[in-house]
Structure 1
Amino acid sequence: MTEVVTFGAGVVFGIALAAPPGPMNAVIAEESVAHGWRSGVRAGVGAMMADICFFVGALLGVVTVVERLPTLRAAMVAVGGVLMLYFAYDTATDLQSGFRTANAAGADRGFRRAFVLAITNPYQILFWLTAGVALLDPGTVDVLAPLSTALAGQFVVQTGTPVLLLGLFSGVALWIVGFPAMLIAARKRMDSFAPLTAAASALVLFGFGVYFLIDAVTLLMD
């Protein structure tokens, strides 16, 4: 029973990690609406591959090294900011030229964009430095115990287990498959959804790009 609860908690945690609005979902949304469901899923897989890299890095202690070197972290944040500004410009250019293409290069572009953005995203690095490390640490979390002593032991999650990690990445996979499908369904009912999604994606990428560049300067000045 504990393994089932642990897996379920991992799935919920993975969806909660992948679902919030941000640059990754902006890229997935644009690729889904502009190039189709498969391109959206490929972009999502690119973002998840970055999480897998961070997961391996957390196991090896590499992520902690990045946190201890402010200059390196600032450089990664700055690179992420510049890339987001570039991709925002690229998306805006697609808006003007008409972006509905079905070639392989366009599909592969979504994977590359999402991976590069995710691997330089300080928020994902921060997650694996904090919550990610806690998930890898063997132990148990009695989720309902703080609410009531009567509920103690009813919802116990085992951390640091393959079951939890499998649930986590299963939750992320569910999101990157389901989110593009929802967008495609919405697009079929609204012909103008593609340019609206691309415009929103460009604005999100631009905003995060500027924020990351400011954050990088702040890190270097501290």
Structure 2
Amino acid sequence: MGSIFNYILLGISLSAPVGPVNAAQMEKGIRGGYLQSLSVGVGAMLADILYMLLVYLGFYHVIMIPIVQSFLYFFGSFVFLYLGVESVLKTRTLTRASMTTVAPLQGLRYGFLLALVNPISIMFWVGVYGSVLAKIVEHGEGNHLLLYTISIFVGVFLWDNIIALLSSSLRRFLSDKLLQGITLVSGLSLLGFGIYFGYLGVLSVL
């Protein structure tokens, strides 16, 4: 039970750092409520599962090839810049009355896309889960691999719920100005990540 609890804490720790997914969850939760925020987090978690599966199957060797890393940086930069510009441009015309409810499936797709194209997330999971696999094998606990992996995602899901509950509880204070400010900050955050990943991409080819 101690090991399971440790891996749940690992999942929470991996999800807690501020990033594009957490920012998107906060925005969607404030604008659309608990389910919209949670759906973004679950979508991102599906992308995490995909990358963990690739690590388990040994594809991390491909991801660590320099030219592949450069592509991931530039592609991630393009997507984040596009989403950031789109978010910033709609800020002025956004009001509570103009908001439309986003279906959970759309939130899943949005969260999945954000995590899928996030180069830091990709390499982070490759490094972390690769280390977890090595540790489990080293200690002869290969038969517990599935249990420990599920424990990690229990932690991730718990954090998604915390963000969803926190953001949805802030809806009562929502005004048009606050809504526009949140959307602007979220858009600028995505632009910042896009510029950062583009910078890393340039460095990787120099």
TM-score, normalization by structure 2: 0.87
Cα distance in structure 2, aligned partners of 1:84 and 1:62: 25
Q: State the one-letter code of the partner of 1:219.
A: S
Q: State the one-letter code of the partner of 1:209.
A: G
- Structure 1 residues 93 and 109, CA, compared in 2 at 3 Å: closer, same or farther? farther
RMSD value over aligned CA atoms? 2.1
Instruction: Note the 1:84-163 alignment, pairs <5 A.
Output: 84-98=80-94, 100-104=99-103, 107-137=104-134, 138-139=136-137, 161-163=145-147
Instruction: Note the 1:1-20 alignment, pairs <5 A.
Output: 4-20=1-17
Cα distance in structure 2, aligned partners of 1:186 and 1:195: 14
* Partner residue of 2:161 out of 163, 177, 186: 177
Alignment: residue pair count: 199
* Partner residue of 1:210 out of 171, 185, 195: 195
Q: Give structure 1 stretches of 5+ with no counterpart.
A: 142-157
Q: Name the structure 1 match of 2:18.
A: 21
Q: Name the structure 1 match of 2:170.
A: 186
Matched, 1:64 2:49: no
- Bigger Cα Rg: 1
TM-score, normalization by structure 1: 0.81
Q: Name the structure 1 match of 2:40.
A: 43
Matched, 1:197 2:182: yes
Q: Give structure 2 stretches of 5+ with no counterpart.
A: none
Residue-by-residue CA offset, 1:128-185 (whole Å, 9 max, x unaligned): 33221111232578xxxxxxxxxxxxxxxx6862232121100101111221111111
Residue-by-residue CA offset, 1:13-70 (whole Å, 9 max, x unaligned): 11111111111111111111122211111111111111000110001111221112x1
Q: 1:103 deviation in Å? A: 4.6
- Structure 1 residues 27 and 197, CA, compared in 2 at 3 Å: closer, same or farther? same
Q: Name the structure 2 match of 1:166.
A: 150
